[in-house]
Structure 1
Amino acid sequence: MHNDSIDVNAELADAPVGGMHIKLGILLALMTLFDGYDTFNPAYVIHYVRGPWQLSLQQAGLLVSSGLVGFLFGAAIHGAIADRFGRRITLIGGLWITTIFSLLTALAADSFASFCALRVLTGLGLGVLLPLSTTYINELAPRRIENTFALWGVALGWAAGGAAAGLVGVFVTPHTGWQGLYWIGSLSVLLIPFVHLYLPESPKFALLRGRETEVRDILARLRPQRAHLYRTLSIGKPTTSEKAPVLALLAAPYRRLSIAIWLTSFLSLFCIFGLSGWIPTLMQARGESFGASFAFGALMQVMSFVGGLVCGRLVDRTDRPRFWLCAWWATGAVAVLTLMFFQSHWVNVACSAMAGFCIIGGQFVLNNFTATSYETRMRATAVGMELAVGRLGAILGPFIGGALQQIFGSSQATLLAIVIAAAGAAVTVRFATRSADCGCDSRSEAVEATTAMTSASKLKQELG
């Protein structure tokens, strides 16, 4: 607070984690669980349809990539929609789109063309859920644990969804066919009423729109012990301008930061989807059984959450995100390189686990790093563009992986491409800084919040 007004950024940054934080974290985790599940489940369709649909390896790769084409457009446009109309309504719309087209995939996809078309439409919803959930939770997270809190609230759900896709692939599809993956995915319809009822608008967005009554209500739910202050004191006005178009991300203060983040996301997601999309097929070629080869996808997703949590904790404690992200992707490159030279069951297990821990885990922290590097007025747009550009890499990963296998007759070239991309991500993230002439801190709102704490404490004492 400043004098007798409420500083919303300060209140959010200094808040203890309470019941409302936990409820919203669970709700976002459930939304991103369905996002992660639906994003990765095409990898488990390939086994069932490649023969009946007479697919080449490149076409098999497109089964995975098609949904990512929709994701690219969803991620690119949702930021502008969310920054204009609000986080809440955009998230709800994304969940509806994902649910409807998952159900239609189970009912109507009976050929390569129809499957890919429905996956593109599903991807429009998927392109909203993960990036906007990341934006939303970073606008609520207490400053001192923002990475850890965001990882528990978003990355846990996404990784659990990816792992669930592998488990459904192993245990359900032998009885239901590949359609069982999408029948289960459409269960997200059960989540929609709870999101409508319990998901509030982001308080920072509501503040930018001048909706003071709504801001007071949200703050009182997040920090009920201070509700009496929120009822009586005025709300401090936001210090940022209202609109930030996509081109603002390339303005002088942000140009280097944005380009470095986009390139890093492109390379990282090339690795993630190139490896995840082909991991069942690659492992079967390396001598693993059907069940074990599908389980490797689940293993990578479980380890990705652990890796993201460890990396996020290190970032929170040291405030050196670029250093730790570089270390994570470099280690992931070494893990995949090891797969090229050694072949045994335990090498497969250890290297797949380490690839998930480092490469996918690093992407979770990159999403949070992006969200905290921009102000509220442009945050959803920034995260959306990061993941939209990154999805170009995600689209190319499975497709190029299939093409390289067909050209060279083995998985070695695919693994080498992933090694090069992971090493490239380790290098490019080091350049993700604002221009030297920028007069503002990349976490300016958090810094502003911290400087407000002293006056807030004094005012609280005066008011009793």
Structure 2
Amino acid sequence: MTASTSVDVNNELAEARVSPLHIQLGLIMALLTFFDGYDTFNPAYVIHFVMGPWGLAKGQAGLLVSSGLVGFLIGAAAHGIIADRYGRRVTLLGGLWITSAFTLATPIVGDSFVSFCAVRVLTGLGLGVLLPLATTYINELAPRRLANTFSLWGVALGWAAGGTFAGIVGVFLTPIYGWQVLYWIGALSIPLTIVLHFILPESVKFLAARGRTDEIKTLLSRLRPERAAVYANASLDVQAATVRKNSIAVLLAPDYRRKTLTIWTAAFLSLFCIFGLTGWIPTVMMQRGETFAASFGFGALMQVMSFLGGLTCGHLADRRGTSRGVLSTWWAIGGLAVLALIPFNIQIVNFVSVAAAGFFVIGAQFVLNNFTAASYETNVRATGVGMMLSVGRVGAILGPFVAGELQQIFQGPTAMFLAIGAAALVAATAIASLAADRRIALDLLEASALHG
């Protein structure tokens, strides 16, 4: 009888070539995050239509944008614990069902400030699952040499495309059909949810952590068909992990504490900037003299540039073998671009500064997601990503509200731009402070699906 071959599951995933199943799963994650990005940025286009009829002050309008992020915060915090214990697949599907159902409910019952915000909070519970768990899923799948690039094409492209599409719908369809059309179109996620019930597999890393070897062999054979014969008779080194009863406490244990708190700080400031800008840019640009179409177009421009910026940032991080210096540079340049809007109100400056803010500030957030996923072991990874985005969503909630209040207090956007630009510069400083910690570099190089 031939002795069985021992196969290390982590190495098999890390050293894989990109297979048709890799591409299929990447496209699935892109579709998930497309609806996440689309839904997340819809309220920025709703503001224009409801501020007058609903009698909203700018601070209230900021809360209208932030309301969905309150639910996101709860969903992002809770989903990681559920996903680390019960699996990525069931948690993703549950989040997509919640998002789809309440997106459909928004134009039906969201006909006042209170009811709209209430439905948005419930929608956010589902949205809080999609982006962080899609990031975890794709990072556990990605071949090591293409870590950031693969994740950006599989997650960031969908999210940026969704945000861009929201701008297109806002420009061309809302003047004809009203703001409700944004949500009728968003409800097209329901057919996707049904299809995914039949084709979405469980994460290999999660199966490995649970020692489910037969399922691992089947999935590895699809990811690496050229080695299917090897897997048939192999014994798998799955490095099964013990489920942590309190994985959040693990994130704050001495081995992770400094890393975790720094990542949380950067995420808070980054998402404060992103949602403060994206929530108000269309309205502010109209106030600065741009046309309706051009002002809504600035929102779409930020999303297009965010993907290009994230892709460039991720490519540089993969080549350098570290993300910290690139992330710090991205946030610093983005902060300066926002500050440039203060002394100038010229169309070309508006265009370049907004494009640069999308390219650098939002682009860096995509790579921060990957940096976070790489910074934790498999059995707390989903919790790590979820908690990073949950803490970050506190900044996202405050961003539109603070931006609105600053505009109301100072009668213009200057103070808003100053606060957002300064926050980006502080985020750059925070993430750069990790450079002296050599353990970070080792963690990133040894991460099973990433090294950037």
TM-score by length of 1: 0.94
Please give the secondary structure, in 2, of the residue aligned with 1:165.
Answer: helix
Which of 363, 378, 381 is the aligned partner of 2:380?
378
User: What letter matches 1:157 in structure 2?
Assistant: G
For 2:196 and 2:82, how far apart are their aligned partners in 1? 18
Partner of 1:355: 357
For 1:266 and 1:322, how far apart are their aligned partners in 2? 16
Please give the secondary structure, in 1, of the residue aligned with 2:93.
Answer: helix
Quote the offset at 1:195 in angstroms.
Answer: 1.2
Matching of residue 187 in structure 1 with residue 188 in structure 2: yes
Quote the offset at 1:193 in angstroms.
Answer: 2.2
Cα deviation code 1:350-393 (max 9, x no counterpart): 11000000000000000000001111111000000000000000
Partner of 2:279: 277
Please give the secondary structure, in 2, of the residue aligned with 1:54.
Answer: coil
Quote the offset at 1:442 in angstroms.
Answer: 4.1
Residues 131 and 383, structure 1, Cα contact 8 Å, conserved in 2: yes
Partner of 2:102: 101
Partner of 1:452: none
Structure 2 gap ranges (5+) = none
Q: Assess, with a 3 A threshold, how the Cα gap between structure 1 residues 56 and 426 changes in structure 2: closer, same or farther.
A: same
Residues 147 and 313, structure 1, Cα contact 8 Å, conserved in 2: yes
Residues 374 and 449, structure 2, Cα contact 8 Å, conserved in 1: no
For 1:397 and 1:268, how far apart are their aligned partners in 2? 10
For 1:434 and 1:188, how far apart are their aligned partners in 2? 44
Please give the secondary structure, in 1, of the residue aligned with 2:187.
Answer: helix
Partner of 2:73: 72
User: What letter matches 2:80 in structure 1?
Assistant: G
For 2:295 and 2:303, how far apart are their aligned partners in 1? 14
Which of 320, 323, 330 is the aligned partner of 2:322?
320
User: What letter matches 1:298 in structure 2?
Assistant: A
Which of 355, 364, 367 is the aligned partner of 2:366?
364
Partner of 1:408: 410
Partner of 1:250: 252
Residues 272 and 420, structure 2, Cα contact 8 Å, conserved in 1: yes
Residues 434 and 440, structure 2, Cα contact 8 Å, conserved in 1: no
Quote the offset at 1:237 in angstroms.
Answer: 3.2
User: What letter matches 2:217 in structure 1?
Assistant: R
Residues 69 and 397, structure 2, Cα contact 8 Å, conserved in 1: yes
Q: Assess, with a 3 A threshold, how the Cα gap between structure 1 residues 448 and 99 changes in structure 2: closer, same or farther.
A: closer
Please give the secondary structure, in 2, of the residue aligned with 1:6.
Answer: strand
Please give the secondary structure, in 2, of the residue aligned with 1:339.
Answer: coil
For 1:327 and 1:430, how far apart are their aligned partners in 2? 9
For 2:112 and 2:360, how far apart are their aligned partners in 1? 36
User: What letter matches 1:293 in structure 2?
Assistant: S
For 1:96 and 1:229, how far apart are their aligned partners in 2? 38
Structure 1 gap ranges (5+) = 450-464
For 1:300 and 1:96, how far apart are their aligned partners in 2? 28
Cα deviation code 1:66-101 (max 9, x no counterpart): 000000000000000000000000000000000000
User: What letter matches 2:25 in structure 1?
Assistant: L
Please give the secondary structure, in 1, of the residue aligned with 2:69.
Answer: helix
For 2:385 and 2:286, how far apart are their aligned partners in 1? 36
Residues 66 and 119, structure 1, Cα contact 8 Å, conserved in 2: yes
Quote the offset at 1:438 in angstroms.
Answer: 9.2
Please give the secondary structure, in 1, of the residue aligned with 2:340.
Answer: helix
Residues 255 and 434, structure 1, Cα contact 8 Å, conserved in 2: no
Q: Assess, with a 3 A threshold, how the Cα gap between structure 1 residues 385 and 434 changes in structure 2: closer, same or farther.
A: farther
Matching of residue 234 in structure 1 with residue 235 in structure 2: yes
Percent of aligned positions with the same letter in both sequences?
A: 60
Cα deviation code 1:406-456 (max 9, x no counterpart): 10000000000001100011001123469668997344343999xxxxxxx
User: What letter matches 2:261 in structure 1?
Assistant: I
Quote the offset at 1:288 in angstroms.
Answer: 0.2
For 1:437 and 1:328, how far apart are their aligned partners in 2? 23
Quote the offset at 1:222 in angstroms.
Answer: 0.4
Quote the offset at 1:4 in angstroms.
Answer: 2.3
Cα deviation code 1:131-174 (max 9, x no counterpart): 00000000000000110000000000000001111111001111
Q: Assess, with a 3 A threshold, how the Cα gap between structure 1 residues 3 and 144 changes in structure 2: closer, same or farther.
A: farther
User: What letter matches 1:25 in structure 2?
Assistant: G
For 1:448 and 1:149, how far apart are their aligned partners in 2? 10
Count of aligned residue pairs for this structure pair: 448
Cα deviation code 1:20-62 (max 9, x no counterpart): 1000010110000000000000000000000110001000001
For 2:320 and 2:440, how far apart are their aligned partners in 1? 23
Which of 265, 268, 271 is the aligned partner of 1:266?
268
Runs of 4+ with >4 A deviation: 433-440
Partner of 1:389: 391
For 1:116 and 1:439, how far apart are their aligned partners in 2? 42
User: What letter matches 1:266 in structure 2?
Assistant: F
Please give the secondary structure, in 2, of the residue aligned with 1:446.
Answer: coil
Quote the offset at 1:106 in angstroms.
Answer: 1.2
Residues 220 and 230, structure 1, Cα contact 8 Å, conserved in 2: yes
RMSD: 1.8
Residues 83 and 381, structure 1, Cα contact 8 Å, conserved in 2: yes
Residues 256 and 434, structure 1, Cα contact 8 Å, conserved in 2: no
Pairs within 5 Å for 1:416-455: 416-432=418-434, 441-446=443-448
User: What letter matches 2:57 in structure 1?
Assistant: S
Matching of residue 44 in structure 1 with residue 24 in structure 2: no
For 1:379 and 1:443, how far apart are their aligned partners in 2? 16
Q: Which moved more, 1:6-15 or 1:424-433?
A: 424-433
Q: Assess, with a 3 A threshold, how the Cα gap between structure 1 residues 3 and 438 changes in structure 2: closer, same or farther.
A: farther
Pairs within 5 Å for 1:129-208: 129-208=130-209
Q: Assess, with a 3 A threshold, how the Cα gap between structure 1 residues 350 and 201 changes in structure 2: closer, same or farther.
A: same
Quote the offset at 1:199 in angstroms.
Answer: 1.1
Partner of 2:306: 304
Q: Assess, with a 3 A threshold, how the Cα gap between structure 1 residues 275 and 439 changes in structure 2: closer, same or farther.
A: closer
User: What letter matches 2:403 in structure 1?
Assistant: G
TM-score by length of 2: 0.96
Please give the secondary structure, in 1, of the residue aligned with 2:341.
Answer: helix
Quote the offset at 1:239 in angstroms.
Answer: 5.7
For 2:440 and 2:127, how far apart are their aligned partners in 1? 34
User: What letter matches 1:428 in structure 2?
Assistant: A
